[in-house]
Structure 1
Amino acid sequence: MRYIIRFHDKLSDSQQDILNKLSLDIIYQSKFLPLIGVITDEPEEIRGLDFVKSIREPAVGSFMEGEFYTTITFEPPLHKSLLVKNQMFGWGDIRVAIIDSGVNSDVSVTESKDFTGTGNFDVINHGTRIASIIKHFAKGCNLYSAKIGNNEPDELNMLKAIEWAVEKGVNIINISSGFKRNCNSDCELCQLISQISKFGVAVVVAAGNEHNMEDTIYCPGRVDDAVTVGAIDRNMKLASYSSIGKPGSGKPNILAPGNGYINDSRFEGTSFAAPVISGILAAILYKSGNVYKAIEYIYRT
């Protein structure tokens, strides 16, 4: 079985020696948090160690299935004229990571990484669609695809993928999936996003599709440092399916169209609102050169 282990603090040499003597294989070690991922059949011997804060199985989330085509229209309509007019069309070395179900050859990516062991092919065309929407707004950006699941995103794979994306020097990470839980921003995933945001990486996360119910933002969209994206419908109102946070939480941070068509295939969900913001953010970032200013700009406008 696979487990996520969180420690109270950075491991000392003696504590590392204790771990090395246990029946486990370390498959992930965070560079930002006192956190590892392991394979073991004896979790109880780990749980009993005084320097272990928690040990648990990784959560499994959900993707929204869909097909991929090339012509995109949104409800309400979105136009690129402002971006083109201001020469903010996403050219240059702006790097966007898509942590999702993979990206097929329909969309060009700079580099792909499979964390599932099943190959980079996007079985459900979810990540491929996300990539297409980002490219719609930031045609010249460099995409990095991290596959973390076929039909369902895996939390441990997501942790690995986020750190891989940071190693690749990405400016923006798009996460159009999540985990339905009340983590209060203190889970390992939210804490990792808080850490990498300090290094100038914008993490754009879909809010979730829980039908306007309060306090239903998916993890990791709950964390303050994430740019959490809800959806609007064709009438410019909050989409009936879009999740919202606790009163006063400010979540979602921003709204974007989550409905539209790729050729004749309809899409709907906050999964597809998030890459609208990621794409526009990439275009603005090319012009501004500062991720914090770019985020501030989209919040203002």
Structure 2
Amino acid sequence: MEGKKRYILKLEERYWRRRREGLLRSLSGKIVRSFETMPYLVIELNQTEVEQIRNLRGVMEVFEDEQATTQEQQIPWGVAVLAGPQVASQLGVNGSGVRVGVLDTGIDLQHPDLKVAGGIALTGDSFQDDNGHGTHVAGIIAAQDNSQGVVGIAPGVELFAIKALNSAGSGWYSDIAAGLEWAIKNRLDIVNLSLGGKQNNPLLRYAVKRAARAGILLMAAAGNAGNEEGKGDTVLYPARYPEVMAVGAIDRQWQRAPFSSTGPALDLVAPGVEILSTIPGGDYKVMSGTSMASPHITGLAALLKSAYPRLKAKEIRQRLTAGAIDLGSKGWDSWYGYGLPTGIQVLGKRKPR
């Protein structure tokens, strides 16, 4: 049996009302809609009936009806779990006044849901994203609250693109170190590093220490080197360094993602499975990884800094861990760190004085 589809009939404009009345009678039960002032009919037909209708006198054209969908702004599930924007709205903060760097593959400079204040290209000729990873990370942190697309945790931050990874998503440790040096020089407050490598490196270690001493809060993906059993010390560098907050990934059930790295260096966890965010070309995509978890905490840290500008990086770090919901074994553990921080726990319910 042929399936029916919804079609639009365009009637000959001369005497179209008379033609319409005739068709309404002959096609009774098939008409979906008629119009008072336009020479069109909407009708449900199968393919055989369509060919028959095309030959009727007074029918000029037959074409399929199309559907439109709502385009309102969405709050991705990870953003909702942290409840950052809701609490921040109550407190009157959105990350404004906080300078955040995304050390990654760059950021799409033309994306309508992102506002990039500046940046540097340490690979290639521009800090325009030629991979997509950095744009996705940036959207989790700072997608604009503009009634379209998605909204980030802290849409009011000053967002900087530090492009140290190439179009394939890889980059030299030395370029990452140069990116941290740039962050120090440009007085950034927080730098997100959704990247990782298995090897320690003296230059990277030195750059991390310098950035931390300069008062920059460093947030990094713990790594996707974990295993189903959650065994072993698998946190990658630079998340493994003590000056950096290592963030693992959880799913919608607040369970550790099987790929999420584990070990003594793990500090916190955040949503990192099926995360909707921005990608180049003005589009949106779902991605998974600890790369998606880290920017959730970066955004929350930016809200905290915005609400309490005098807080130092060390104090923000302490409040994030103190405001975490304990998951897994009681207290700190190698799967979840200190747990999942939320806006309510970290920011409080009262407006800052």
TM-score, normalised relative to structure 1: 0.70
Moved more, 266-275 or 104-113: 104-113
Runs of 4+ in structure 1 over 6 Å off = none
Matches within 5 A, 1:51-130: 71=74, 73-74=76-77, 77-78=80-81, 79=83, 80-91=85-96, 93-105=97-109, 106=111, 107-130=114-137
Q: What do residues 257-280 of structure 1 show as CA deviations (whole Å, max 9, x unaligned)? A: 012342773211000101001111
Moved more, 148-157 or 133-142: 148-157
More divergent stretch after superposition (127-136 vs 284-293): 284-293
The question of 1:201 aligning with 2:216 is answered yes
The whole-number CA distance in structure 1 between the counterparts of 2:287 and 2:75 is 10
What's the counterpart of residue 238 of structure 2?
Answer: 220
Q: Indicate conservation of the 8 Å contact 2:218/2:244, yes or no.
A: yes
Deviation per residue, 1:160-187 (Å, 9 max, x gap): 1110011010000100001122x3xx73
Instruction: Report if the CA contact (8 A) 1:174-1:205 is conserved.
Output: yes
Offset of 1:76 from its aligned partner? 8.8
Aligned-pair identity in percent equals: 27
Say how many residue pairs are matched: 224
Q: Is 2:297 aligned against 1:294?
A: no
Aligned match of 2:334:
none
Matched residue, 1:50: none
8 Å CA contact 1:114–1:147 kept in 2: the answer is: yes
Ranges in structure 2 where 5+ consecutive residues have no aligned partner: 1-72, 143-151, 278-283, 324-353
One-letter identity of the residue aligned with 2:305:
L
Q: Which amino acid in 2 is paired with 1:216?
A: T
Residue of 180, 184, 190 corresponding to 2:205: 190
**Aligned equivalent of 2:252, options 234, 238, 242:** 234
Name stretches of at least 5 consecutive residues in structure 1 with no aligned partner. Answer: 1-69
Equivalent residue in structure 2 for 1:147, among 163, 173, 185? 163
Taking the aligned partners of 1:76 and 1:99, their CA distance within structure 2 comes to 21
Shift of 1:157: 0.9
Distance, in Å, in 2 between the alignment partners of 1:226 and 1:253 is 9
Mapped to 2, the partners of 1:101 and 1:128 lie a distance apart of: 8
**TM-score normalised over the length of structure 2:** 0.60
What displacement does 1:213 show? 4.0
Tell me how large the CA RMSD over aligned residues is. 1.9
* 1:99 counterpart letter in structure 2: L
Rounded to whole Å, the distance in 2 between the matches of 1:100 and 1:232 is: 22
Higher relative contact order (CA 8 A, sep 6+): 1
Match of 1:276 in 2: 296
- CA distance, structure 2, for counterparts of residue 276 and residue 129 of structure 1: 12
